[in-house]
Structure 1
């Protein structure tokens, strides 16, 4: 008995060592299960990528691990694409976004349309995406705007002014709601004003842009384009006042106040250079 006891302890120690050296990976789950997908997202994104900078190479590794575990989670592809989008590497980003759309169009199709409209200026592609998603989710929204808003931007930028006017009118109708009393977003009013200015409808442009500034007085573009509308009507003094207001707003850090404004220029966005040039033309 005395000799067998040390042998028993040795075997027990080996058994424990062997147990400790077993792989720690969780057993594969059912990737069609939303609950299982959620546990993986929590593991690799919530407690992984989202705790570090999106500029870190580890961000992509976390996304790759999630994709390896379950290749049918659309969110994983969108999250892997996000740093690439913000860094301007669209060639690498869009195949990932396309994969996310293929897996879950209901969730990511409008987002892709937004990226095409604002980031890559693929207005035809954006319009196609918003037309398609409007059938999936009528009256849906993306980045706090209706689909009609983005359609209006696309048609404005491609010179299809009549359709852009119809789009912005629809956008305003949807925002007004069934009561007709809903607040209209200041950037809807800004772009409707800019559209009217492009069509040389100066009083209408003035009316929209003044409404924009009533909602957001420091709107740089609202002030700048309103100055152009006043000047087109021969009203030099109010034009100068609004150019000064646009310049002060830009110096103070005011912008269009849109999502992703620091990663892409929105249509019609200005800098202090444009304002300075306009003031010089007025002899200031």
Structure 2
């Protein structure tokens, strides 16, 4: 029983280490421009400041998919799906594995664009 418990604990420990980002440069940009800048602004009331912080990060490196997703998120919450989707498309362009399923979900649940959602979600399965 003790060996089983240790084995399960070891397995979940390995899974948790699998979540670590491999791109330290992107992590530093996210830290600087999202955590230390944009997160200090409430995007509901300070959308311009939120977007400006993310734009600064994207000027430094436009391939940071997470910043593109974070640019899209407030627009989806404001029901401006077309605006948000253009930013989410950029996130998928730079990190398809991470954001394609999310885009499919957003197309299905929020945009009600079911055909495109199915295409995205089927591509995730492949």
TM (norm. structure 2) is: 0.78
What's the offset of the Cα at 1:95? Answer: 1.1
Bigger RCO of structures 1 and 2 (CA < 8 A, at least 6 apart): 2
What's the offset of the Cα at 1:131? Answer: 0.3
Which residue of 119, 138, 142 maps to 2:110?
119
Q: Indicate the structure with greater helix content.
A: 2
Q: Counterparts of 1:98 and 1:108 in 2: how far apart (Å)?
A: 9
What's the offset of the Cα at 1:121? Answer: 0.7
Map of 1:69 onto structure 2: 60
Which residue of 61, 80, 90 maps to 2:71?
80
Map of 2:89 onto structure 1: 98
Deviations 1:97-148 (A, max 9, x none): 111101111000000011011001111111111100112xxxxxxxxxxxxx
1:157-172 to structure 2, matched below 5 A, reads: none
Map of 1:51 onto structure 2: 40
Q: Counterparts of 1:117 and 1:125 in 2: how far apart (Å)?
A: 8
Which residue of 114, 120, 125 maps to 1:129?
120
What's the offset of the Cα at 1:51? Answer: 2.3
Q: Counterparts of 2:57 and 2:69 in 1: how far apart (Å)?
A: 12
Map of 1:36 onto structure 2: 25
Deviations 1:179-234 (A, max 9, x none): xxxxxxxxxxxxxxxxxxxxxxxxxxxxxxxxxxxxxxxxxxxxxxxxxxxxxxxx
What's the offset of the Cα at 1:86? Answer: 0.6
Q: Counterparts of 2:78 and 2:52 in 1: how far apart (Å)?
A: 17
What's the offset of the Cα at 1:54? Answer: 1.8
What's the offset of the Cα at 1:37? Answer: 1.4
Moved over 4 A (4+): none
Q: Counterparts of 2:113 and 2:83 in 1: how far apart (Å)?
A: 16
Could you list the runs of 5+ residues in structure 1 that have no partner in the other structure? 1-32, 136-284
Q: How many residues align?
A: 103
Q: What root-mean-square deviation, in Å, do the aligned CA atoms of Structure 1 and Structure 2 show? A: 1.2
